[in-house]
Structure 1
Amino acid sequence: MQQPEKFQTYAYFAICMAVILAHELIYSLYAGSGRFIDIAIQMAALFTVAALIDHLMAPRLAIVKPFARRRWLSFGLDFGLYLLVGVGLLLVEALLPGHSYSQAIDVTLGIMVFGYFAAIDNALTRQLGWFHRGEVSVDGGFTMVPMAQKFSIVMTLTILILATTISLSSYRLMHSGAVERPEQLPLLFLIEVMFIFGALLALLLRLITSYTRNMHAFLQAQMDVLRSVQKGDLEQRAPIMAQDELGLMAVQINAMIENLRDRDRLHKTLERVVGANIMEKLLSTDDETLKRGQEDEVAIMFCDLRDFTSMSEAASAEEVIIFLNTFFSDLSEIVARHGGTINKFMGDAVLAVYGLESESNPVEDAVRSALEILDHTRQFTMPDGGHPEMGAGIHFGTVMAGTIGSEQRYEYTFLGDAVNTASRLEGLTKRLKYRVVVSSDAYLQLPDETRRQFRDLGQQRVRGKSEPLHVFGTEPNIIES
């Protein structure tokens, strides 16, 4: 147990002794009782024992789970100590001859009443200490007790305690026979009532102060968590500090954060599958529009690994998979760096799209990507020790973008002659001995300084086209990136 909480526990022991002894002193002045010193000695000894037990047991509360149970166990520990003192006082009276049982019962009742309020306040203070030290729980397994119900219980018990204490004190005054002059009874009764009422009021106000202090701290913690979530931090959790509406609110906040984390993981997975730009389109476009498709004017780059079949035959399946994953990871970073989106991986080939969101020249972005990718192949080592060879075909045109498939599963893809043309242009790279081949439609989109780096390769016939294509070619070492 930390120092402030320990100090409060021991301070309550001292205050309890002071209050009980003050009451007995007032009573002895009117009743002529000589038991004040005896009661003081007995209480001092018993509270010393209680303090030693608290010193040994209180630190064990911090390891209790779930967290919401600790406050109840803390209350049980402290109230049990006051009960121990009261019962101990009764036992002393029973063992020592000539002592007053009525006075011992009155003092024991006072100790237990004080202990009830002190135990609640100590539990609230410990709860706040656990919260500030981070010894909290974010698990939601608890049975909720509404605040209104707890308030009703405390107020009902307070009224019962007040009525019972006043009744027993009055009975003691009327039947003990200790008051020598009966005319003093009304005054002594008034003093008794005012003393009891004042002590209970002070304790109740202290409880209200502690409870509102804790409530403010817990609400502030939940607001801090919500602000962090608003900023995108989904690692925070709201501490579950009580088994009431505040605890339920923390449980709901944590459930909301977990749902947001699941959605964030889903978004990240979807982004890895289809790319960030396509993911945004999927999430922001309604299903009917996706099914109908949308026309986009984009640059298409088709890259293909050369002689991959012979390489895969010479290596194990595991080596091939590792190589492709590593190589395509690097390729994906290059495409993304130049504003492109990879639409799909097709074995050893890649289809990338430029111009979906970027305001820059999509064809120039595609050319820069192709050149950097081809330059990267020189530094990349395949399982057989060689370097991969790639060709890239780039075309600019209109594509139809949308979802293809069934209601249960579909794929977002780009369709149209522009996609087929880019694939056919890549097929020309090996025959024309140029590793980057672009169509005239793409060439015309390039700035003049970039065009000058390309060589006119004339009209070329390609498979699937009735008319030849006018194409241009370049190598990675011609254009400086």
Structure 2
Amino acid sequence: MRRENLFIVSWYALAYLIILYYGGSVCPYIDGLGIDRFAVELAAVFIAGLSLRGLLRYTSATRGWHDFAIFAAMAVGLALYNRTNYEFPLASGGKVAVGFTALGFFISTHAYLALQRKMLRSAESFDFLGKSKSSIIQRISAVTIVAVVLSTVTIFLVVDKDLKWLATQQPGAVAYYRPSVLKEIFFVMGVLLALLIGLIVAYSRNLRLLFENQTRTLEDVSQGNLEVAVPVVTNDEFGNIATHTNSMIAGLREKQKIQSVFGKMVSPRIAKRLLADSQHTMSGEKIELTVLMSDVRNFTTLSESISPEALVAMMNRYFTVMVEIIHRHNGEVDKFIGDGILAVFGLGDTEPGPQSAVTAAGEMVAAAAKLTRELGHEIRIGLGIHSGEVIAGRIGSPDRQEYTFIGDTVNTAARLESASKDIGREIVVSKSVFDALSPELKNAAWQAVGALALKGKKNAIETYALGRA
């Protein structure tokens, strides 16, 4: 605020010096009044104007424009004062009013643009709630028209006054006064031209900042930073763009938050598939996948031998390790079924699903043995793996849904996991899985179980088993 006040005071001081120099050294209008007296009276007018400015109440959106009214009030006050004390003609007062008004317009516009730059640099926003939208083209056009009209009227009045004054002089004196008249005209034109150029430069700086704020924010968003916003400092097209950009960022932030939550409830890849489903359809799709089903065999014994708190802590540790292994081999955890895990492989993978699933299963068995030593409780797991066609989709009601995988392939994997208990092996796979393995994996200590009749299946399935007996 102190810097802003200094900015305004400097503009008022500049206006004071312009009028003082014009009245005391350029224009013969105060002949007989004395420059010292004129300077004191003019200073009193400007001090009164600054005092009035300090008393005014205004909002952030209107700050700066009231300077236009203050200069008009100062012009009226000075004209009335000169008329009352010095009997100056009202025509002279009118010229003073136009000059003051022109200066007030330029200063008020500069003050508003300076405040706008401050908001742009400090990422603050105006509150335009409920205010009608304007157009930047209309605003610039209006400012340009007013500036040109005020400048033209001011120059016209100066030239008109000088011509009338020269007409009262002797013919031989015209040449003598001609340099003074030209000096006055060029001084007024020079001041107005400088103010016009300054106004153009100020508008250019603000437009550059508006573009920079917009592009910088979009660059941050493109790099993943959603904790940014474009300051809304105008109620024109730029403000409209900034508002919509901020709404877009808020939407992306909400989507990122939802995706983060989904990533904990379902796998990140599945979460992306759900978020990409803009139509929110409930139709399924058929996909060739490898399904892995795992289960803790001695879970009932564990739950009876330790406290609930210790059991929950142990299972959380178990799931953390197993999920990390599944994800490391590009698998997706579909769901937890009590102490069991249903995972799928081959969902957008470049590596074949059977290869990844069997590799992950071997690491899960080794991890279970390691957890047994770490936690002090024996953890034994069984796994069933089968490849085939599954139906992937959102299952449930319109109010409650889950994205899951269903079908015969899933059921078969679950039956293979259950059969692993009877076979006495930790990993049981179907022939379709075994045939798709690399030679290195096939060279492991696999046991050909043969045709295995599974519950709910009409035909027996050729199976292979791996792990301790």
Q: TM > 0.5 between the two?
A: yes
- 1:339 Cα deviation (Å)? 0.9
Which residue type is aligned with residue 169 of structure 2? R
Counterparts of 2:324 and 2:55, CA distance in 1: 59
**Secondary structure of 2:124 counterpart:** coil
Q: Offset of 1:116 from its aligned partner?
A: 2.0
Are 2:124 and 1:141 equivalent residues in the alignment? no
Flag the 1:443–1:100 CA change in 2: closer, same or farther, 3 A: same
Match in the other structure for 1:36: 35
The correspondence of residues 277-316 of structure 1 with structure 2, limited to 5 A, is 277-279=269-271, 291=283, 293-296=285-288, 298-309=289-300
SS in 1 for 2:437: coil
Q: Offset of 1:241 from its aligned partner?
A: 2.3
Matched, 1:472 2:461: no
Asked if 1:208 is matched to 2:200, the reply is yes
> Is the aligned partner of 1:338 residue 2:326?
no
Query: Does the CA-based 8 Å contact 1:303-1:390 persist in structure 2?
Result: no
Change (3 A) 1:204 1:405: same
| Shift, 1:359, TM fit | 2.3
Q: Secondary structure at the match of 1:301?
A: strand
Q: How does 1:26-425 map to 2 (within 5 A)?
A: 29=28, 32-44=31-43, 47=46, 70=60, 72-76=62-66, 78-79=67-68, 82=71, 86=75, 89=78, 98=86, 100=88, 106-107=95-96, 109-132=98-121, 134-137=122-125, 141=129, 143=131, 144-158=133-147, 161-162=150-151, 165=154, 181=169, 195-279=187-271, 291=283, 293-296=285-288, 298-309=289-300, 327-377=318-368, 387=377, 389-403=379-393, 405=395, 408=398, 411-425=402-416
Higher mean displacement: 422-431 or 178-187: 178-187
Worse-matched range after superposition: 426-435 or 42-51: 42-51
TM-score (norm 1): 0.75
Cα displacement (A) at 1:291 = 3.9
User: 1:345 & 1:44 partners in 2: Cα distance?
Assistant: 83
RMSD of aligned alpha carbons: 4.6
Distance in 1, Cα, partners of 2:86 & 2:261: 83
Q: Does residue 1:436 correspond to 2:435, yes or no?
A: no
> How far, CA to CA, are the matches of 1:323 and 1:182 in structure 2?
113
The count of residues paired between Structure 1 and Structure 2 equals 459
Alpha-carbon shift at residue 284 of structure 1 (Å) = 7.1
Give the residue type in structure 2 aligned to 1:293: E
1: CA distance between counterparts of 2:197 and 2:75? 24
Secondary structure of the 2:64 match is: helix
- Equivalent position amino acid for 1:354 in 2: F
Contact 1:82–1:112 (Cα < 8 Å) also in 2? yes
Q: Letter of the 2:124 partner, please give it.
A: V
Q: Partner letter of residue 197 of structure 2?
A: L
Structure 1: which 5+ residue stretches go unaligned? none
Q: CA deviation at 1:374?
A: 4.0
Structure 1 residues 247 and 311 mapped into 2: Cα distance closer, same or farther (>3 Å)?
same
Shift, 1:130, TM fit: 3.2
* Alignment of 1:445 onto 2:433: no
Which deviations, in whole Å up to 9, do the C-alpha atoms of 1:134-174 show, x marking residues without a partner?
Answer: 24228763632212332343345345535765687689779
Q: Deviation at 1:393?
A: 2.1
- Asked if the contact 1:354/1:363 (under 8 Å) is kept, the reply is yes
Query: Which stretch has the larger CA shift, 396-405 or 219-228?
Result: 396-405
Could you say what secondary structure the match of 1:357 adopts?
coil
Amino acid at match of 1:225: T
**How far is the alpha carbon of 1:303 from its aligned partner?**
0.9
Measure how far apart 1:204 and its partner are.
2.5
Aligned residue for 1:294, secondary structure, equals strand
Does 1:24 pair with 2:13? no
State the 1:214 CA deviation: 0.8
Runs of 5+ consecutive residues of structure 2 not aligned to the other structure: none
Q: Is the 8 A contact 2:390 2:409 kept in 1?
A: no
Amino acid at match of 2:466: G
The question of whether the paired residues in 1 share the 8 Å contact of 2:292 and 2:385 is answered with: yes
The answer (yes or no) to whether the contact 1:391–1:429 under 8 Å persists in 2 is no
Counterparts of 1:92 and 1:315, CA distance in 2: 98
After superposition, the Cα gap between the structure-2 partners of 1:182 and 1:336, relative to the gap in structure 1 and judged at 3 Å, is: farther
